[in-house]
Amino acid sequence: MKKHIEPRRYLLHFDSHELPQRFVDVLVIGSGVAGLSAALAASRHTEVLLVSKDELRESNTQYAQGGVAAVWAASDSFAAHIEDTLTVGQGLCDREAVESIVREGPARIRELVAAGAQFDRDAAGFNLTREGGHSQARILHAQGDATGAEIERTLLQQVAAAPRIRCLDHTFVVDLLTDGGECVGALLSSQTQGLTVVWAKHTILATGGLGQLYRETTNPEVATGDGIAMAYRAGAALQDMEFLQFHPTTLYIAGASRWLISETLRGEGAHLVNNRGERFMPRYHPDAELAPRDVVSRAIVAEMRATGATHVRLDLRHLDAAHVRERFPTIARVCAQFELDLAEDPIPVRPSAHYMLGGVRVDLAARTSLGRLWACGECACSGLHGANRLGSNSLLEGLVLGHRAGDAAGGLAAADLAEAKPRPIRAEVAAGHEDRLDLRDVSNSLKSLMWRHVGIERSEALLAEGEESIDFWCRYVMAKEFHFQGGWEIQNLLTLAKIVTVAARTRQESRGVHYRSDFPQADDARWRRHTTFQRPQE
């Protein structure tokens, strides 16, 4: 089912001939696992410009705790990993995508190890753990619970040593530039350089997710969905935008930032208990705490509602205290800041928005529907995850599709001997000024509304009310022309809020992470298919 929403094509009034210009072979936007992998692969062929809106290391990857899933142990198999992924994806995975990504995973891990990544080991080799939905222990981890940071460190070290990669940090990409149905570059903004047009033979989006759309989220502040929104404005197809995964366990301390409490704690034997001290997950699923994430999240919400609590607790007191502190040093340090001992005190947790399963639709080479535009990582929808992501498949996907995107785009750019050429692009924006608009209030109101109306449990009444509010905010916020990052981020978030809400209203069933209380069952006859959003190209 294809739909479209109508934001304006460009956020800013500009004339490409009047702005400073740069020319590159491959432009990579985003510096998490997917973006860095893409930049490295492309640089083996040609020159690359890597752009990040914050520090290069500031991404969802940096905060990923649990690990990366890959078939490594002799007792494991590709068939088992593929089947686990398909089962959790509940009928919406693309089998070919699942098979190819799972099978390529070990090769990408070996490259990381050869580059210096230090995954945790024991006497038998890599120390593997298990997470919910996995039939085998196949999760490689680093420094206990700092896997993402170790992968990011390793890739950044390689990027710094790559002579054909130039990096721009603290640079915001406002919009993709298109001409003749193809992406021809991007409009960049930085505090030091102002606006700049970058003409690129090929552009790779690796901008991460949109967790900042929600009041409760594990994502850092940079996760405002910019790449997905700008791809939509440019005419690329989006897919499965109703599927937003909520992580069951984030540290819940009033007034404090939410902190992910990794699923691997449950993989190591931690129990979830309600405010009466009762372990409850065995009542909801035969796999108890290792049930798929959507099941655990909804069970926690049900327990909170039944007991009138704001959270449940994660209990590790029955486990070896020394092992717990050694295995999860980062989480232990965070808990200690609130005078909680991870091994001795039940930890207050509740679900938070965590991972966008949908995104810019791509094929197995990471090509989007828009010529010369590629996408990988969380901003892309490859068909790997379906209606629910198997834990630790995200870093796997970023490594594999990032490599594919960079290799393909870099190879094509190198084969094209002509320079990237400038185009006469002029954007006319009839918009009001941003005065007397409290963007912080708009942001807080939007996040709260999305949490209440388009969150873990949805219904037609809630979604319709939510869409009405989003439309109201869009009428006066989207009509403004902003000249700073915060304004553009709000416009991106509003665009995506509308799409996510319409997608959730459209899918009248419950499947994976998308739960409708008014349509509580899966409906394969009508809904074992994808929703697609695409803005008509101009």
Q: Are residues 210 and 260 in the same domain?
A: no
Closest CA to 61 of 148, 153, 151: 148
Q: Are residues 235 and 259 in the same domain?
A: no
The residue-averaged pLDDT of 48-69 equals: 83
Domain boundary among 303, 324, 352: 352
Judged by average pLDDT, the poorest of 11-20, 259-268, 321-330, 483-492 is: 259-268
Residue 68 has pLDDT above 70, yes or no: yes
The residue-averaged pLDDT of 112-120 equals: 93
Residue 530 has pLDDT above 70, yes or no: yes
| pLDDT confidence band for 358 (50 / 70 / 90) | very high
321 located within any domain: yes
pLDDT at 417: 84
138 located within any domain: yes
Query: Tens digit of pLDDT for each residue in 471-507?
Result: 999 998 998 999 999 999 999 999 999 999 999 999 9
Residue 329 has pLDDT above 70, yes or no: yes
Q: Are residues 222 and 364 in the same domain?
A: yes
Residue 397 has pLDDT above 90, yes or no: yes
Q: Exposure of 287 by Cβ count < 10 A (0-12 exposed, 13-18 middle, 19+ buried)?
A: middle
The residue-averaged pLDDT of 243-261 equals: 85
Question: Cβ contacts of residue 483 below 8 Å, gap of 6+?
Answer: 12, 434
Report the Cα–Cα distance between both ends of the chain, in Å, rounded: 21
pLDDT at 63: 66
pLDDT at 328: 87
pLDDT at 434: 59
Whose structure tokens read 């949805």?
A: 458
pLDDT at 433: 63
255 located within any domain: yes
b (16+ CB within 10 A) / e for 52-68: bbbebbbbbbbbbbbbb
Q: Is the dihedral of CA 29, 32, 33, 36 positive or negative?
A: positive
422 located within any domain: no
1 located within any domain: no
Q: Are residues 153 and 84 in the same domain?
A: yes
Q: Are residues 294 and 183 in the same domain?
A: no
For the CA atoms of 489, 493, 499, 502, what is the dihedral angle to 10 degrees?
-160
The residue-averaged pLDDT of 310-314 equals: 94
Residue 1 has pLDDT above 70, yes or no: no
| pLDDT confidence band for 300 (50 / 70 / 90) | very high
Domain boundary among 328, 352, 376: 352
The DSSP H or E segment spanning 447 is helix 439-453
Distances (CA, A) of 250 to 217, 259, 305, 331, 372: 8, 5, 18, 11, 39
103 located within any domain: yes
Q: Are residues 306 and 366 in the same domain?
A: no
231 located within any domain: yes
pLDDT at 501: 98
Residue 378 has pLDDT above 70, yes or no: yes
Distance from C-alpha of 363 to C-alpha of 365, rounded to nearest angstrom: 5
The residue-averaged pLDDT of 369-374 equals: 97
Residue 280 has pLDDT above 90, yes or no: yes
446 located within any domain: yes
pLDDT at 109: 95
- Domain with residue 269: its CATH number is 3.90.700.10
Query: Tens digit of pLDDT for each residue in 409-468?
Result: 999 999 998 888 888 999 887 666 656 788 999 999 999 999 999 999 999 999 999 999
Query: Tens digit of pLDDT for each residue in 89-112?
Result: 999 999 999 999 999 999 999 999
Q: Are residues 457 and 378 in the same domain?
A: no
- Domain with residue 446: its CATH number is 1.20.58.100
**Are the C-beta atoms of 20 and 197 separated by less than 8 Å?**
yes
| pLDDT confidence band for 148 (50 / 70 / 90) | confident
- Mean pLDDT across the chain: 92
Q: Are residues 157 and 26 in the same domain?
A: yes
Q: Are residues 397 and 345 in the same domain?
A: no
Distance from C-alpha of 507 to C-alpha of 524, rounded to nearest angstrom: 11
Largest CA distance in the chain: 69
- Total number of domains constituting the chain: 3
The residue-averaged pLDDT of 42-53 equals: 97
pLDDT at 65: 66
The residue-averaged pLDDT of 268-279 equals: 93
- Domain with residue 214: its CATH number is 3.50.50.60
| pLDDT confidence band for 284 (50 / 70 / 90) | very high
Residue 200 structure tokens: 């690129």
Distance from C-alpha of 446 to C-alpha of 450, rounded to nearest angstrom: 6
pLDDT at 133: 84
Catalytic residues: 293
| pLDDT confidence band for 233 (50 / 70 / 90) | very high
Q: Are residues 173 and 48 in the same domain?
A: yes
| pLDDT confidence band for 228 (50 / 70 / 90) | very high
Distance from C-alpha of 32 to C-alpha of 150, rounded to nearest angstrom: 12
Q: Are residues 330 and 405 in the same domain?
A: no
The residue range of the domain holding 317 is 248-352
Number of separate helices (H) and strands (E) present in the chain? 15, 24
Whose structure tokens read 């897919």?
A: 239
Distance from C-alpha of 72 to C-alpha of 200, rounded to nearest angstrom: 38
Of 118-132, 315-329, 358-372, where does the model show the most confidence?
Answer: 358-372
The residue-averaged pLDDT of 517-537 equals: 95
Domain boundary among 415, 438, 461: 415
Q: Are residues 114 and 33 in the same domain?
A: yes
Residue 230 has pLDDT above 90, yes or no: yes
Which residues face 144 on adjacent strands?
A: none
Q: Exposure of 276 by Cβ count < 10 A (0-12 exposed, 13-18 middle, 19+ buried)?
A: exposed
Judged by average pLDDT, the poorest of 181-185, 321-325, 349-353 is: 321-325
b (16+ CB within 10 A) / e for 294-309: bbbbbbbbebbeeeeb
